[in-house]
């Protein structure tokens, strides 16, 4: 039981209907009705990410937008789109602010594809900074990203990458779903853990806190787990 979520680049590249049919579908179709995806850059290698929206249907939110929210137990969960405009005043940023303004959830997490902070070869994605700043302004607790094909966990930090144990957001990058693995090229500030190997992230969202556990595929010795409290 539970929700399955993705952090983009779901059947890459280039995210065609055939890629979803031949690559994604054999392994994950049995979970499709409970999957809440986010799109990534490879999904958009097909114009408008049309195969992505067609495959996931209503579970991907309003067709063509790529951002939406839902409730998971006591949490508000927000799936965002790093492949469209995300700066200050953009439709996505304004929508996000409205969602957070009207939410009464004590705990909130968000996920999208391209990370603001990373030690990986794709580098940081500053176009997501205003999204992070909006999340920070409303005391969001957890962000999950992908794009770099590795696992990386950060200590809570503010939108400018300064450690902030009181109000900061924890980012965990989990780009370990099947593409060729990456090695880090630097050590990003506030990095706590990095690991190379395939696996998935299991989250347990409780009232007032959360647990994370990286579940590796057989043969991958790397694991990571911990707990966090909501702001």
Per-residue model confidence (pLDDT) at position 172: 99
Assess contact for 45 and 15: CB atoms under 8 A.
yes
Residue 220 is encoded by which pair of tokens? 């991958």
Q: One digit per residue, pLDDT tens: the chain, 231 residues? A: 899 999 999 997 899 999 999 999 999 999 999 999 999 999 999 999 999 999 999 999 998 999 999 999 999 999 999 999 999 999 999 999 999 999 999 999 999 999 999 999 999 999 999 999 999 999 999 999 999 999 999 999 999 999 999 999 999 999 999 999 999 999 999 999 999 999 999 999 999 999 999 999 999 999 999 999 999
> What is the pLDDT at residue 12?
76
Determine the pLDDT at residue 48: 96
Give per-residue pLDDT as tens, 95-136. 999 999 999 999 999 999 999 999 999 999 999 999 999 999
pLDDT value at residue 13: 86
Judge contact between 75 and 140, C-beta under 8 A: no
User: What pTM did the predictor assign?
Assistant: 0.97
């Amino acid at each position: 039981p539970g929700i399955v979520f993705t952090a983009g680049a779901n059947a890459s590249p280039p995210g065609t209907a055939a890629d979803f049919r031949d690559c994604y579908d054999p392994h994950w179709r049995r979970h499709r009705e409970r999957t809440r995806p986010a799109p990534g850059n490879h999904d958009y290698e097909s114009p408008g990410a049309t195969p992505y929206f067609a495959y996931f249907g209503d579970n991907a939110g309003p067709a063509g937008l790529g951002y939406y929210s839902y409730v998971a137990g006591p949490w508000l969960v927000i799936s965002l789109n790093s492949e469209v405009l995300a700066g200050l005043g953009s439709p996505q940023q304004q929508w996000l602010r409205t969602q957070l303004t009207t939410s009464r959830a004590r705990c909130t997490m968000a996920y999208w594809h391209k990370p603001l902070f990373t030690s990986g070869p794709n580098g940081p994605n500053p176009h997501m900074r205003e999204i992070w700043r909006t999340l920070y302004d409303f005391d969001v607790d957890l962000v999950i990203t992908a794009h770099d094909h590795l696992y990386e966990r950060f200590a809570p930090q503010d939108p400018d990458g300064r450690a902030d144990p009181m109000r900061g957001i924890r980012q965990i990058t989990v780009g370990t779903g099947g593409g060729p693995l990456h090695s880090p090229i630097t050590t990003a500030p506030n990095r706590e853990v990095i690991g190379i190997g395939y696996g998935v992230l299991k989250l347990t969202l409780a009232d007032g806190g959360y647990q994370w556990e990286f579940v590796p595929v057989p043969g991958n010795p790397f694991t990571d787990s911990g707990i966090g409290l909501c702001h």
